């Protein structure tokens, strides 16, 4: 394999793995409250429980 391709593939996977954690962290931060289930519920602090 072309060494450049080899390096690029590795770099893409490592960056992808790091990006995975960054995106997870940012998504939870943006949601405003940590949701444990990883269910992507987008829980927001702005939502007042019980309000119509």
Residues that bind other proteins (CB under 8 A): 1, 3, 6-7, 9-10, 13-14, 16-18, 20-21, 33-39, 41-44, 47-52
CB of 11 to other proteins, least distance (A): 9
Q: Find the helix or strand (DSSP H, E) in which 49 lies.
A: none
Estimate the share of the chain in helix, then strand, then coil, as percent rounded to the nearest 5: 55, 0, 45
Tally of CB atoms within 10 A around 35: 14
CB of 27 to other proteins, least distance (A): 13
Q: Please, which residue, 26 or 41, has the CB nearer to other proteins? A: 41
């Amino acid at each position: 394999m072309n060494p450049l391709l080899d390096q690029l593939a590795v770099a893409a996977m490592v960056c992808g793995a790091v990006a995975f954690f960054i995106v997870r962290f940012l998504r939870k931060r943006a949601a405003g409250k940590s949701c444990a289930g990883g269910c992507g519920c987008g829980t927001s602090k702005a939502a007042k429980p019980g309000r119509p």
